[in-house]
Structure 1
Amino acid sequence: MPKPLTRAEIEKIFEAFSLHDPAPKGELDYVNVFTLLVAVVLSAQATDVGVNKATKALFAIADTPEKMVALGEDAIREHIKTIGLYRNKARNVFLLSRMLIEKHASEVPDTREALEALPGVGRKTANVVLNIGFGQPTIAVDTHLFRVGNRTGIAPGKTPLAVELALLKRVPKHHLLHAHHWLILHGRYVCKARKPECYRCIIAEWCRYPAKTAG
């Protein structure tokens, strides 16, 4: 087994991320917290690019729970039919919009418990909304972040939850707000699943991945 990363090494890694990209942003388009929530729900097993294409016209006419409910499930489905699992997602978007009206005065709640009670919202989705929409230092573990956490040695874990909890414990507090974005973007564009581009990796000197690739 590779030697675990030290706290000093993890600090160096996040300092490098911070210098490279001081204010990282997610790649989903949205106009308010409600449309952010919808976009994240739609992004499950779909690309951000694909979601953005589908939601451009949708959010132009339905950027509140009331407008989404008025639009109706059938029309929502037509707008998002290019996205995977679009039938279930259209149903969830309609139902969560109705629940926001009925239980939350049309406002997106800012707690994980309340978010996870909404149709189509799991822990990962809730964490993204809490982080981007409300500025909370949460970690949303997708396939990219799970890979980076394990491959680099920053936060090894056998499950997404294990990686999330390890990151919350090991990432320096002053870097925690942006850690989610840095790690996901790193996994998406540099530390790729099949061919990691280690030759241009800004954290390669600390990474524990034994099979580093050359340029």
Structure 2
Amino acid sequence: MLSNKKTLEAVTIMGEVFPDATTSLVADSDFHFLIAVILSAQATDKSVNLATPALFARYPTSKELAQATPNEVEEYIKTIGLYRNKAKYLVQCAQALEQKFAGVVPQTLKELMSLPGVGRKTADVVLAERFKIPAIAVDTHVSRVSKRLGIVRQSDDVLTIEQTLMKKLPKEIWIAAHHRMIYWGRHQCMARSPKCITCPLIDLCNFGQKQLKQ
């Protein structure tokens, strides 16, 4: 297991390689960003960004979306994976926002997670990106990179990974660390064919060293 010091060193190097790592989802309001994050589950940010301009134009606030039917919403998001389920969640989420929060996206983890379609990862992303509240959202990239580097155990679940990263990293870099690890997973430490031979973290990474020996 990497120590706190080595974990910070790894994330610092990631930041040097990807100094501009940030969210790639495009949205013009807190509500639209929440919708975009819900849509991004098991889908690429690129596919979400292609679909959302028309969706956002049709439903500028939660009030309009709360009055829609899932079938109507489906027409705007058919190119995104799991679009039928997501259409239901979007409508239900908008209705809950209107009923419980007067159409305003809440700024606490508990309140966000009370919304249909919003899990812990989605809530963490919204808190970090829209409200600058320190959080580390754990997606497949963050999970893979954390396990390969030995920051966490291979058997750790998403919540344990999140809690371990928060313990090992200073709070002021949680948001940046989340983005750096996503970029690392996308461009350096991919699920298939990771670039171990050119990786600047190879000295810290048992997984990478084993790959080079094969």
Assess same fold via TM > 0.5: yes
C-alpha distance in 2, partners of 1:114/1:26? 22
Q: What displacement does 1:40 show?
A: 0.8
Q: What displacement does 1:60 show?
A: 2.4
Seen in structure 2, the aligned counterparts of structure 1 residues 213 and 75 have a Cα distance that, compared at 3 Å, is: farther
Q: Secondary structure at the match of 1:102?
A: helix
CA contact (8 A) 1:96 1:119 kept: yes
CA contact (8 A) 1:46 1:83 kept: yes
Is 2:30 the counterpart of 1:40?
A: no
Greater helix percent: which structure? 2
Q: Secondary structure at the match of 2:204?
A: coil
- Report 1:146-161 matches (<5 A): 146-156=143-153, 157-161=155-159
**Structure 2 stretches of 5 or more lacking a match?**
none
1:109 to 106, 124, 128: 106
1:124 to 108, 121, 124: 121
Higher relative contact order (CA 8 A, sep 6+): 2
C-alpha distance in 2, partners of 1:119/1:175? 29
Aligned residue-pair number: 211
Bigger CA drift: 34-43 or 148-157? 148-157
**Structure 1 stretches of 5 or more lacking a match?**
none
Seen in structure 2, the aligned counterparts of structure 1 residues 96 and 133 have a Cα distance that, compared at 3 Å, is: same
The residue aligned with 1:201 is: 199
- Report 1:1-215 matches (<5 A): 4-156=1-153, 157-209=155-207, 210-213=209-212
Percent identity reads 41
Seen in structure 2, the aligned counterparts of structure 1 residues 207 and 174 have a Cα distance that, compared at 3 Å, is: farther
Whichever residue aligns with residue 7 of structure 1, its letter is N
C-alpha distance in 2, partners of 1:172/1:88? 37
Q: Secondary structure at the match of 1:121?
A: coil
Q: 4+ runs of 1 displaced by more than 6 Å? A: none
C-alpha distance in 2, partners of 1:135/1:23? 17
Q: What displacement does 1:213 show?
A: 4.7
Q: How high is the TM-score relative to the length of structure 2? A: 0.90
